[in-house]
C-alpha cells in the first residue's frame, strides 16, 4: 500500500556520471505519483546538518547531460557514528519525509543499512565509476569512466609510439579492476594489472615487455589499477630491467567527470524511476540492481552478501590472450 507522500534524494561517496540522470528520474517519477521531493545536499552530511533544496521538475530539466551531481556529495565520517545517524533521522521525521533514495557506492549502501535501524525507509541506487557494488552487474558512471580512460590512453599511446617509450597508465579502481580491464583491452595494452589478479609478480610484466622488444616492437603500454602497486615505481623498474624509457600517467579525477554516455544517462533514468516505483509499491530497504541486464531489487542486507559482481573470468582470460 502506498503511503509515501514526501521523499528525499541524496548522492554520496565519489561522484559518478549518470547520478544526475537518476536524480532527474526520481523527481519526474515522484511527480507522476504525486510525491514531493526534497534534495539533500552533500550526501549524509546534508542529512545531519539539514542542508536541503526543494526539487521540482524545473530544477532538474537540464541536468541529464551534466557530469558530477547537482546535489553535491561527501564521504561522511560523522554518519559512521550512531549519534549523527539519530540526528539525521530526527531531521527527516521533523520534516515529514517518508523515505530516502540514496545514490552511491558500497559506503553509501553500508550507511543506508545502518540508517534503517533508526526507522528510516531507504532505497539505494548503485552509483560509482568502480562498478564494485557486489549485487549489481552495473553501477552508474562506469561506462563514462571507461570511455574517458580509453580516450586518454589513446592519446598517451600516440606520444608513446612517437617516442618509442613504455607508458604506464594508472586508472581508478581500488578493489575492482573493471576500468583497467576495459580501458586496457580497448587500447590493446601489453599488460593490464588488476587488483583481483595481482600476485606481486613484476617479472611477468617485465618479461612481456622484453618479449615484445625482442619481437621488434618499440613502444609499450601497461595499464594498472590504482591500489595494486605504485605506478612510478613500476615504470622505474621497467626502465631499469629493460633499458626502455618509461613514463607514468596517472589519469585521476578526469575519470569521474564529464558528460555521461548514453548508457549512463539511460541506466540513471531507469534506476531512478525504478527506485520511486518500488517505493510507491510499498517496498523499502531495497537496493536497485542490474542482473542479466534487467532491473531487479534486493534487500539491502542481502545485497552485501551477494557476489554477482566478481571480475568476469572470460573477460579476464581474453585480456591475457589479446595481449600475448
Ligand atoms: O568513486 C570511486 C573512486 O573514484 C575510486 O576509484 C577512487 O579510489 C576513489 O573514489 C577516490 O576517492 P576520493 O574522491 O575520496 O579521493
HSE value, Cβ hemisphere, 13 Å, CA-based, for 224 = 22
Q: Which of 324, 269, 218 is nearest to 20 (CA)?
A: 269
Local confidence band at 278 (pLDDT 50, 70, 90 cut-offs)? very high
> Which atom of ligand 1 lies at the shortest distance from residue 173's CA?
6
Q: Distance between CA atoms of 97 and 87, rounded to whole angstroms?
A: 14
CB 69 within 8 A of CB 8: no
CB 191 within 8 A of CB 177: no
Helix (H, G, I), strand (E, B) or coil at 276: helix
Mean pLDDT on 212-218:
91
Q: Who lines ligand 1 at CB under 6 A?
A: 13-14, 75, 128-130, 172-174, 226, 256
pLDDT by residue (tens digit) across 21-78? 999 999 999 999 999 999 999 999 999 999 999 999 999 999 999 999 999 999 999 9
pLDDT by residue (tens digit) across 131-162? 999 999 999 999 999 999 999 999 999 999 99
CB 306 within 8 A of CB 298: yes
State residue 307's pLDDT score: 76
Look at strands 52-54 and 166-171 and give their pairing.
unpaired
Per the model's pLDDT, the better-predicted residue between 294 and 310 turns out to be 294
Ligand 1 site-directed mutation target among 103, 107, 174, most atoms within 8 Å of CB:
174
State residue 311's pLDDT score: 87
Q: Whose CA is nearest to atom 2 of ligand 1?
A: 14
State residue 1's pLDDT score: 46
State residue 2's pLDDT score: 67
How far does residue 173's CA lie from ligand 1's centre (Å)? 8
Amino acid at each position: 500500500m502506498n503511503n509515501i507522500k514526501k521523499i528525499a534524494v541524496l548522492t554520496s561517496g565519489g561522484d559518478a556520471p549518470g547520478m544526475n540522470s537518476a536524480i532527474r528520474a526520481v523527481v519526474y517519477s515522484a511527480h507522476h505519483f504525486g510525491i514531493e521531493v526534497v534534495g539533500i545536499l552533500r550526501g549524509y552530511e546534508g542529512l545531519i546538518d539539514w542542508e536541503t533544496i526543494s526539487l521540482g521538475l524545473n530544477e532538474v530539466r537540464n541536468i541529464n547531460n551534466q557530469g558530477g551531481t547537482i546535489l553535491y556529495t561527501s564521504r561522511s565520517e560523522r554518519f559512521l557514528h550512531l549519534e549523527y545517524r539519530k540526528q539525521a533521522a530526527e531531521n527527516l521525521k521533523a520534516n515529514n519525509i517518508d523515505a530516502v533514495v540514496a545514490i552511491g557506492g558500497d559506503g553509501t549502501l553500508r550507511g543506508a543499512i545502518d540508517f534503517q535501524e533508526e526507522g528510516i525507509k531507504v532505497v539505494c541506487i548503485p552509483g560509482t565509476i568502480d562498478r564494485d557494488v557486489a549485487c549489481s552487474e552495473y553501477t552508474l558512471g562506469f561506462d563514462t569512466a571507461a570511455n574517458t580512460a580509453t580516450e586518454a590512453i589513446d592519446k598517451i599511446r600516440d606520444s608513446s609510439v612517437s617516442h618509442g617509450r613504455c607508458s604506464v597508465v594508472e586508472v581508478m579502481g581500488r578493489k575492482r579492476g573493471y576500468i583497467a580491464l576495459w580501458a586496457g583491452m580497448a587500447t590493446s595494452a601489453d599488460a593490464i594489472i588488476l587488483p583481483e589478479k595481482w600476485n606481486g609478480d613484476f617479472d611477468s610484466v617485465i618479461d612481456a615487455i622484453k618479449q615484445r622488444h625482442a619481437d621488434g616492437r618499440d613502444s609499450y603500454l601497461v595499464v594498472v589499477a590504482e591500489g595494486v602497486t605504485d605506478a612510478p615505481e613500476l615504470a622505474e623498474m621497467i626502465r631499469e630491467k629493460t633499458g626502455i624509457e618509461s613514463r607514468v600517467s596517472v589519469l585521476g579525477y578526469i575519470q569521474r567527470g564529464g558528460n555521461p554516455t548514453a548508457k549512463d544517462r539511460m541506466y540513471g533514468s531507469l534506476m531512478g524511476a525504478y527506485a520511486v516505483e518500488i517505493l510507491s509499491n510499498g517496498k523499502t530497504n531495497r537496493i536497485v540492481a542490474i542482473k542479466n541486464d534487467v532491473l531487479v531489487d534486493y534487500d539491502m542486507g542481502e545485497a552485501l552478501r551477494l557476489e554477482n559482481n566478481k571480475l568476469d573470468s572470460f573477460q579476464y582470460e581474453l585480456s591475457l590472450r589479446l595481449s600475448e
